[in-house]
């Protein structure tokens, strides 16, 4: 009888120690998991910050390229009002149409050479937005300088002619047409540059998600894992 009691106590003692050991191991495993999760978050933040800086650097460079394309298109448009250089208007239209293809080509180069052939939609969209923004800033500066220092007489005459056609189409009165033309002629260089800037930013906002969706490419290794 005594031996049975002793044996039962021994079994209970072993069970208690085993349970304590298991609880201790579980706590240690949970703490280790928490530590690993925190370290993973820190690494992810560091990686994302590095990618954002890299994206900004490439977007500045490619924004300058897109800005140069837009500047050439703008200059061609301004010169095309002269009958001698009407063909420049055709070149200007081609350069404008080429805008999404230029951005897509530069994004592909960034994806293949800087991102090892893959890029998420989020980073591609951020790249496109930054590229369009930088190009817009460059073009806006050139447009302000052009309207500030260059002769825009032919451009204004052509613009007034076009607005007269629009006024006739909408059946505006002579007084309304005169008010509209006076408002156009009184616009300052900063107003012209701002108007074009808003148009460029809207175009960038529309084209960016489309280009990003087309050029985004997942990492096959990470997707498989």
Selection from 123, 121, 154, 141 nearest residue 200 by Cα: 141
The whole-angstrom separation of Cα 34 and Cα 32 is 5
The whole-angstrom separation of Cα 119 and Cα 108 is 9
Selection from 216, 207, 222, 209 nearest residue 102 by Cα: 207
By the 8 A CB rule, do 100 and 211 touch? Answer: yes
| Helix 189-215 / helix 99-114 crossing angle, nearest 10 deg | 50
The whole-angstrom separation of Cα 107 and Cα 121 is 11
The whole-angstrom separation of Cα 136 and Cα 70 is 9
By the 8 A CB rule, do 215 and 111 touch? Answer: yes
Task: Tell me the β-bridge partners of 217.
Answer: 119
Token pair for 28: 């240690």
Tens of each residue's pLDDT in the chain, 225 residues: 554 444 455 455 555 655 555 555 555 556 555 555 554 444 444 446 777 888 899 999 999 999 999 999 999 999 988 888 889 999 999 999 999 999 999 999 999 988 888 898 999 999 999 999 999 999 999 999 999 988 777 787 777 777 777 777 777 777 777 777 777 778 898 998 999 999 999 999 999 999 999 999 876 654 444
The whole-angstrom separation of Cα 220 and Cα 223 is 5
């Amino acid at each position: 009888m005594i031996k049975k009691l002793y044996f039962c106590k021994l079994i209970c003692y072993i069970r208690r120690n085993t349970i304590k050991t298991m609880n201790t191991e579980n706590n240690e495993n949970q703490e280790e998991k928490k530590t690993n999760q925190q370290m993973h978050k820190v690494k992810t933040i560091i990686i994302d910050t590095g990618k954002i800086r890299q994206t900004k650097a490439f977007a500045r460079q490619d924004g300058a390229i897109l800005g140069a394309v837009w500047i050439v298109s703008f200059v061609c448009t301004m010169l095309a009002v002269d009958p001698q250089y009407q063909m420049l208007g055709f070149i200007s239209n081609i350069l404008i149409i080429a805008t999404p293809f230029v951005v897509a080509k530069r994004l592909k180069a960034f994806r293949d050479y800087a991102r090892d052939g893959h890029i998420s939609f989020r980073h591609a969209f951020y790249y496109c937005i930054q590229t369009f923004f930088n190009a817009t800033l460059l073009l806006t500066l050139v447009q302000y300088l052009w309207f500030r220092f260059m002769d825009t007489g032919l451009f204004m005459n052509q613009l007034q002619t076009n607005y007269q056609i629009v006024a006739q189409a909408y059946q505006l009165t002579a007084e309304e047409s005169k008010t509209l033309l006076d408002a156009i002629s009184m616009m300052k260089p900063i107003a012209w540059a701002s108007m074009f800037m808003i148009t460029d930013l809207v175009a960038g906002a529309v084209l960016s998600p489309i280009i990003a969706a087309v050029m985004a490419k997942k990492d096959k290794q990470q997707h498989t894992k």
